[in-house]
Structure 1
Amino acid sequence: MNTKVIKATSKHIKDVGFLFDLYRQFYKYKPNLKASTNFIKQRILNNESTIFICYSKTLEGAGFVQLYETFDSLNINKKLILYDLYVYKKYRRLGIGRNLMLKAKDYAVKKRIKIVELSTAINNKKAQSLYEELDYKRDREYHNYYLEI
């Protein structure tokens, strides 16, 4: 399929916001297009994340990936957290997720970032398969924890 992956700017907030709302619904959150779009708007306008959006040949948003730059204290280096990856249902199995992941890797290389880290749902076998095909390694040393406040 003929697609184009570009870095999202303020011109793409509406399209990314729509996809982000679908992504949240995939993870069982209630639809809230206004909040989803506002969240994306703040990330883009405040340069708090880097988002790449994939457009179909008809210029419909087909998927996105959102990256957060942070630090790895032990490796004394920067790292990217690939926090969100989503492909619109009708565009799945066309290589869009792979293209977005490769774009994220290219971005990391250009920024001289040595690690891209991600996590996914335990039952998301399709995503896990893609990550492993792209040489991501499952962490077997650490468990992740969180504290809800």
Structure 2
Amino acid sequence: MQIWKANNNHIEEASKIFDLYRQFYGQESDIDAASDFLSERFLKNDSEFFIAVDSDGLALGFIQLYPSFSSVAMNAMWYLNDLFVLPNARGKRIASGLLKYVEDFARNNASFSLKLATAVNNEAAKALYEKNGYYKVTAFDHYVLRTDTVTQSN
């Protein structure tokens, strides 16, 4: 397995696996939209997208980070927003390899931390993260406001 930092030269493979990831979460397949979304990320350089590939260069999985900052720590950090491994490639330490890769990436870029969220019922993901050194933070409650669906009142 090799891990590549994806860019527009890898858009076809990246879009295919990103579309499968979105389908895993109940979204309809839309390769064109996936390609447009990733092309924009690559163009704006506002995410880091790494693809694990086999010896033929075919995608096995990917991981995507978004940059952020900790005001209290006054340091850069990364949100591990997406991690996906093809079903037929699972159990081969690809996810652990991707996690180690971004850990090294974050350390080499003087980052304070890697943060992530996962579904409360995703026991396999939680076990994977804990096995790779991540720990659950219980000191904060996290909230969200959907700005695409909330109407503003006067």
The TM-score bracket by the shorter chain reads: over 0.9
Shift of 1:50: 0.7
The residue number in structure 1 matching 2:55 is 57
Q: Give structure 1 regions of 4+ aligned residues with deviation exceeding 3 angstroms.
A: none
User: Partner residue of 1:125?
Assistant: 123
- TM-score of the superposition, structure 1-length normalised? 0.95
- Give the Å deviation of 1:58: 2.5
Could you tell me how far apart the structure 2 residues matched to 1:121 and 1:136 are?
Answer: 15
- What stretches of structure 1 of length at least 5 have no aligned partner? none
What is the CA-CA distance between 1:66 and the residue it aligns to?
A: 0.5
| SS of equivalent to 2:72 | coil
Aligned length: 147
The letter for the 2-side match of 1:128 is K
The CA deviation at 1:121 is 1.3
For 1:41, the equivalent position in structure 2 comes to 39
Q: TM-score, normalised by structure 2?
A: 0.92
Unaligned regions of 5+ residues in structure 2, if any? 148-154
> Aligned residue for 1:14?
12
Larger radius of gyration: 2
CA RMSD of aligned residues (A): 0.9
Instruction: State the alpha-carbon separation in 2 of the partners of residues 29 and 139 from structure 1.
Output: 29
The aligned counterpart of 2:100 is: 102
**How much identity, in percent, do the aligned residues show?**
33
AA partner of residue 144 (structure 1) = H
